Chains A and B, each alone.
Chain A
């Protein structure tokens, strides 16, 4: 039956008008419920909006502001970042080592031949010392400054019986600027243990550059600049 069009029966002439008003009534009711539902949904969704919390870490001692705890993290760490990070840490550790064995110290600090002594030494660079530790992973310019400015001090410390080694539980390496395939700036915080002066903290700014020909043992990465300071 075609309701309400076909409801005009002779027995009940007012039927069609009643049917039309009923139909209107039902539609109005439906529309009314839809409007009410939307009115409820809008404030609910408004309150239920997505919140993106950003945790900002403010280092009260150094004044740095950093964004931490972001949900979208970079899961894949590029190889060049990992190697540079490791190199910065290892170099700092080697730089701040003064052993009680003068021969070992001399071996660490000596200048070697880059072509013969420093090739294929990735294991000794990162793990065991085979000598030439510092020279093999730093630039010639930096090594010259080491021998001119730092080595005399180290030799004096050595003669005074000073022993230094790095506390591995207190070493942190973080980027200090842009880090790319060609190098970058790293900041290393470390605690040095000294037998004469007790522990002291240092901060080192390590600039890493890349030259694949001259530093094949570290995939080309080497220490171009190393500036360390004792923290108060």
Chain B
């Protein structure tokens, strides 16, 4: 009986020690946990030199962030800088490239086939183009596509300060997927450790948010 009690006591102590080790390890793991908290600084409308005040994701709201991501996508789709390497990089299927990451396979393939060659030819001729989104971005109830009005300013003659840019306008229709996907637009992608690593490697911050364009229809005016 005495030995049995001794054995049980020893056994109980051993279980307690293992339990304590397990609990200590969980506490250690918990303490190592981190979260990526994005804050946004947006240019003040008063001057491009004023960066504005930092706003947290909650303050910005997912709807506003969705609009920003759409603007970013439209910009990536059309902008031109006079650098052939830039467009060559944008055509690569690399996880650093915003347009590739933010597009579904069909949308990216169509851009690469229809838009990219034109941009590449223009870039090699020294053309610069900027993109501005105007009007409200919305999805008509009867449509599956989000409507985005944009304006392109194109400078065709580099180093000519008398040149006024050519302004063209158009409307893009974006398929952002079903309601379930739209609901998650603006969430930070998981796992969080990979997001953190990506940010530290210097990827474009836009690609750390959930956002995919599956299909693009474009109407130039």
Tell me the A residues contacting B by CB distance below 8 Å.
20, 31, 34, 38, 41-42, 45-46, 48-63, 65-68, 70, 72, 146, 149-150, 153, 176-177, 185, 192, 200, 202-203, 205, 207, 225-230, 232
Report the bound CA distance from A225 to B132 in whole Å.
26
Return chain B residues, CB-CB under 8 Å to A232: 153, 165
Q: Which residue of B lies closest to A23 (CB)?
A: B9
Q: Contact check: which of A42, A52, A207 meets B27 at CB < 8 Å?
A: A42
Q: Does B23 contact A (CB under 8 A)?
A: yes
Min CB distance, B47 to chain A, in Å? 10
Q: Contact check: which of A46, A72, A230 meets B200 at CB < 8 Å?
A: A72
Report the bound CA distance from A61 to B71 in whole Å.
11
Q: Does B43 contact A (CB under 8 A)?
A: yes
Q: Contact check: which of B75, B128, B200 meets A227 at CB < 8 Å?
A: B128
* A205 and B128 contacting across the interface, CB-CB below 8 Å: yes
Q: Contact check: which of B32, B85, B130 meets A177 at CB < 8 Å?
A: B85
Min CB distance, A85 to chain B, in Å? 17
Return chain B residues, CB-CB under 8 Å to A48: 31
Return chain B residues, CB-CB under 8 Å to A150: 159-160
- Between A and B, 27 residue pairs with Cβ closer than 8 Å are A41-B27, A45-B30, A45-B31, A46-B33, A48-B31, A49-B31, A49-B35, A50-B33, A50-B34, A51-B34, A52-B36, A55-B41, A55-B54, A56-B41, A56-B205, A57-B51, A60-B45, A63-B71, A65-B206, A146-B159, A153-B160, A153-B162, A205-B81, A205-B128, A225-B82, A229-B155, A230-B161
Q: Contact check: which of A41, A59, A185, A227 meets B159 at CB < 8 Å?
A: A227
* A45 and B27 contacting across the interface, CB-CB below 8 Å: yes
Q: Which residue of A lies closest to B24 (CB)?
A: A38
* B128 and A65 contacting across the interface, CB-CB below 8 Å: no
Interface size class of B (residues with CB under 8 A): 35 or more
Q: Contact check: which of A49, A60, A153, A227 meets B82 at CB < 8 Å?
A: A227
Report the bound CA distance from A207 to B165 in whole Å.
22
Min CB distance, B49 to chain A, in Å? 9
5 closest Cβ pairs, A-B complex: A227-B158, A63-B75, A227-B82, A50-B34, A60-B43
Given contacts A65-B206, A227-B128, A228-B158, 15 further A-B contacts (CB under 8 A): A31-B16, A41-B27, A42-B30, A48-B31, A52-B35, A55-B38, A55-B40, A57-B42, A61-B48, A65-B98, A65-B204, A66-B205, A67-B199, A67-B205, A230-B161
* A49 and B42 contacting across the interface, CB-CB below 8 Å: no
Min CB distance, A98 to chain B, in Å? 11
> Which secondary structure dominates where chain B touches chain A?
mixed
Min CB distance, B84 to chain A, in Å? 10
Q: Contact check: which of B41, B48, B79 meets A68 at CB < 8 Å?
A: B41
Q: Contact check: which of A20, A65, A153, A200 meets B205 at CB < 8 Å?
A: A65
* B42 and A60 contacting across the interface, CB-CB below 8 Å: yes
Min CB distance, B177 to chain A, in Å? 21
Q: Does B18 contact A (CB under 8 A)?
A: no
Return chain B residues, CB-CB under 8 Å to A42: 26-27, 30
Min CB distance, A149 to chain B, in Å? 6
Q: Does B113 contact A (CB under 8 A)?
A: no
Q: Which residue of A lies closest to B29 (CB)?
A: A45
Min CB distance, B76 to chain A, in Å? 8
Min CB distance, A139 to chain B, in Å? 15
* A54 and B38 contacting across the interface, CB-CB below 8 Å: yes
Return chain B residues, CB-CB under 8 Å to A200: 161
Q: Does B106 contact A (CB under 8 A)?
A: no
Return chain A residues, CB-CB under 8 Å to B81: 176, 205
* A229 and B158 contacting across the interface, CB-CB below 8 Å: yes
* B83 and A207 contacting across the interface, CB-CB below 8 Å: yes
Min CB distance, A171 to chain B, in Å? 13
* A57 and B41 contacting across the interface, CB-CB below 8 Å: yes
* B131 and A227 contacting across the interface, CB-CB below 8 Å: no
Return chain A residues, CB-CB under 8 Å to B51: 57
Known: A38-B27, A56-B38. A177 touches B205 (CB 8 A): no
* A54 and B205 contacting across the interface, CB-CB below 8 Å: yes
Q: Does B190 contact A (CB under 8 A)?
A: no
Report the bound CA distance from A46 to B28 in whole Å.
10
* B159 and A149 contacting across the interface, CB-CB below 8 Å: yes
Min CB distance, B81 to chain A, in Å? 6
